[in-house]
Amino acid sequence: MSVAKIFLVVLIVALCSSFAALGQGVLKLGDDTEFAADTNLLIDAQVLLGGKPVKNVTVFVVHKGSVIKEAKTQNDGFFQLKVGFDTLVTLKFYKEGYVAKLIEVDTRNMPQEDRARGYDAGLFKLSMIELNNEIPIGLYKKPIAKFVYDPIAVNFVMDRKYKKEVKSTFKKADVQPDIIKF
């Protein structure tokens, strides 16, 4: 094989690798095409109000400040979506007349050997709060929870340190902490 052919093959492989890397972190909702590898983090959750399902809550998937996908909760309050690896996204739960809530999902910093399969964040339940003048909206400008990869558990978990920070912030504001439940 000539040097030119070897160079061309190396160049093609490098370009393909670069384009594949650009696709990492792209999301999949439902049956949409996923550009990342066929492995991902499944987010399976239910949105409630007073213990009862809330339908038509819009779940915006925000990446680098832009909404890249959205989904709506079904009649039973459930929704499901997949997040590709190597990305940091925020899930924004929104419905007119309710406090918008944020959850951060960080799939970066995951060892390559742990990416061979898909993961499940576990079914969680998020409670919506109806807007009123007594709700300190400022508490909800930051995520109420963060999911991160834990190499010891070899799974995605809720960031416990961040959870304590959120509880402390709510306590200082004399408001009942609003943490998601499993």
User: How far apart (Å, rounded) are the C-alpha atoms in residues 123 and 102?
Assistant: 17
User: How far apart (Å, rounded) are the C-alpha atoms in residues 35 and 26?
Assistant: 6
Q: Which CATH superfamily is domain 24-172 in?
A: Immunoglobulins (2.60.40.10)
Question: Tokens 């997949």 identify what position?
Answer: 82
Mean pLDDT for the chain overall: 81
Q: What is the pLDDT of residues 139-174, one digit of tens each?
A: 999 999 999 999 999 999 999 999 999 999 999 988
The predicted pLDDT at position 134 comes to 86
The predicted pLDDT at position 121 comes to 86
Among the ranges given (18-32, 78-92, 134-148), the one the predictor scored with the smallest mean pLDDT: 18-32
The predicted pLDDT at position 39 comes to 66
Q: What is the pLDDT of residues 128-137, one digit of tens each?
A: 999 988 889 9
User: How far apart (Å, rounded) are the C-alpha atoms in residues 47 and 180?
Assistant: 10
The better pLDDT of the pair 181, 119 is held by 119
The predicted pLDDT at position 100 comes to 96
Residues in CB range of 105: below 8 A, 6 or more apart: 41, 43, 83, 88, 89, 90, 91, 121, 146, 147
Question: Tokens 């007594």 identify what position?
Answer: 134
Residues in CB range of 120: below 8 A, 6 or more apart: 41, 42, 44, 156
